Amino acid sequence: MENSFKDITNRMLTFIDQSPTCFHVIDNLKKELAEAGYTELHENEEWDIAPMSGNEGGRYFVTRNDSSIISFRIPRKDFKGFYMIASHSDSPSFKIKENPEMEAGGAYIKLNVEKYGGMLCAEWFDRPLSVAGRLLVKGENGKVETKLVNVNRNLLMIPALAIHMNREANDGYKYNAQNDMLPIFGDNTAKDGFFDVVAYAAGVKKEDILGHDLFLYNRVEPTVWGANNEYIASSRLDDQECVYTTFEGFLNAGDSENVALHCVFDNEEVGSGTKQGAASTFLKDTITRINMALGRTDEQYYTAVANSFMLSADNAHAIHPNHLEKADPVNRPVINGGVVIKYNANQKYTTDAVSAATFKLMCEKAEVPYQCFTNRSDMAGGSTLGNISTTQVAVNTVDIGLAQLAMHSPYESAGSKDPEYMAAVAKVFYEF
C-alpha cells in the first residue's frame, strides 16, 4: 500500500469493489496486513507475542469466523491502554437460501433469497447482480475446507413489475420479500445449474459442497461524479468506507504509548449478537490475551482498560437535498464537511462530552474538519457498534462516521474528499 493519503479515495473504491461480502473484506485486509509484516494469530493456539523492537515484530492480527478481524500493534515500551477503532464488515443484502432454485411459469428459474439486514428494496430492481460469499467443501483427508467465491459476472436480475400491471407503483409500494425480491437466474435450460456456476467460480466440485453463505451484490462499479468530482458512489460505503479509511490510518500511524487495535466486526446490520459480532467476547478475549501473553497482571489489565479509548466508526447521514426537513434543525452534516461526531441523549451513540472533547482535540491536531449529527428530536435513529461493544469492554467511546446519502441502498453516495479526513484523524488517534 502507498503510504500517502493522496489517492486514498481511489484505493478505497477499488477495495470496496473487490470486497462484495464480509468474507472478502476480511480476506483483503489480511492480504494488506501480510504485506505490511503482520503475523496471523489463531484463537485455538497459544499466543507467542512480543512488543515491537526496532522496526520488527509487535504486529499481529486474529480473525473470527473469517468475517471479523482484529489487527493490533504492541508498542516498544510497556503500554498504557488500548486505542481501538471499530467498524463493520457487513452490509445489507439478500442471502441465498438452502435449495434455492424455483421454477416460475414454466419459463424461468429464479432463486429463493431472504433479507440480510434492513435494505432499501426498490434500488435492487433492474440492475445486474452477482453472487459471492463462502463455500464449505469436502477437502482432502475428509476435512471441511472454506473457499471464498465470487461469481464476478452479470448473473441475476430482479425485474420490476411494469407500470401497466401496477398503476399505483409510484404511489408507494410495500415490497414483500418472498414475492417481489426473487432474482431470475435463467430460462428453463438453467435448471439445476446454480451450484454448477458457483462451484466453477470457486474451483471446486459441486458434489463436494457441504454448506454456503452466499449473498447477492450489485454489479454496478464504483464511480466519482458531480460538477467537480466532489462525490463518489458505490455499494457498501456503509461501512466499508470507515473500514478502509481507518485501516490506512492504522497502518500509517507511528509510535504510541498504547496498543493500537483496528477492529472490524461482522453482523452489525443484524444486531451484532453473533459469536463474531460487536456484542461477542471477541474484543475482550483479544485484549485479555494480549495482556496475558505479555506476562502482565490482572491489575495491569484493568488499569489499561481504564486508560483506553474507542472510536466507533460507522457512516452518518448527510442532509438530503430533497428532504431537508428530515435533518435536525441545527446539526446538519454535509458531504465533504469532515468527520461526523454522532450524539444521542439516550446513548444509542456512545459520545458524551468527555469523549467528544478528546476526539475534537484529535481532529484539530490532524487538521481535519468535524461536524455534528443528532437525530431530529421526534425521530428515532439507528444504533451502531459502540454502545454494543461497551457491554464487553467498557471504555470511553465516541461515535463517528462520514456523511453519506442513500444509506442501505445497494448504490450509496458520499464525498470524494472525506476519506482523506477519516484516515488522517485515525492516524493521529493511534499516535495520541
- For residues 312-331, which are near Zn ion according to CB under 5 A? 314
Q: Which residue has the cell 445486474?
A: 128
Nearer to Zn ion (CB atom), residue 58 or residue 382: 382
* Cross-strand partners of 317: 404
- How far apart, in whole angstroms, are the C-alpha atoms of residue 250 and residue 85? 9
CA separation (Å) from 83 to 64, 269, 350, 374? 20, 24, 16, 25
Starting at the earlier edge strand, list the strands of the sheet with 223-225: 223-225, 231-234, 412-415, 403-405, 316-317
- How far apart, in whole angstroms, are the C-alpha atoms of residue 193 and residue 175? 28
Task: Name the minimum Å distance from CB 385 to Zn ion.
Answer: 8
C-alpha cell at 82: 488500548
Task: Name the minimum Å distance from CB 87 to Zn ion.
Answer: 8
Task: Name the minimum Å distance from CB 225 to Zn ion.
Answer: 22
Nearer to Zn ion (CB atom), residue 238 or residue 399: 238
Task: Name the minimum Å distance from CB 237 to Zn ion.
Answer: 9
Task: Name the minimum Å distance from CB 64 to Zn ion.
Answer: 19
Instruction: Mark the segment that binds Zn ion (CB under 5 A) among 55-63, 309-317, 323-331, 417-425.
Output: 309-317
Site string for Zn ion, 210-249 (x = CB under 5 A): ----------------------------xx----------
Task: Name the minimum Å distance from CB 183 to Zn ion.
Answer: 24
Write the CB contacts of 110 (distance below 8 Å, at least 6 apart in sequence).
Answer: 101, 102, 104, 182, 183, 184, 185
Task: Name the minimum Å distance from CB 88 to Zn ion.
Answer: 6
431 lines the binding site for Zn ion (CB under 5 A): no
Task: Name the minimum Å distance from CB 239 to Zn ion.
Answer: 4
Inter-residue contact 215 to 133 (CB < 8 Å):
yes
Instruction: With CB under 5 A as the rule, give the number of residues binding Zn ion.
Output: 3
Where does residue 11 fall: left (phi above 0), alpha (psi -120 to 50 degrees), or beta otherwise? alpha
Nearest to 15 by CA among 423, 429, 326, 421: 423
Dihedral sign for Cα atoms in the order 295, 70, 369, 431: positive
Nearer to Zn ion (CB atom), residue 118 or residue 159: 118
Instruction: Mark the segment that binds Zn ion (CB under 5 A) among 4-12, 220-228, 307-315, 388-396.
Output: 307-315
Nearer to Zn ion (CB atom), residue 291 or residue 383: 383
Nearer to Zn ion (CB atom), residue 248 or residue 314: 314
Nearer to Zn ion (CB atom), residue 27 or residue 314: 314
- How far apart, in whole angstroms, are the C-alpha atoms of residue 186 and residue 309? 51
Nearer to Zn ion (CB atom), residue 119 or residue 368: 119
Contact positions toward Zn ion, by CB under 5 A? 238-239, 314
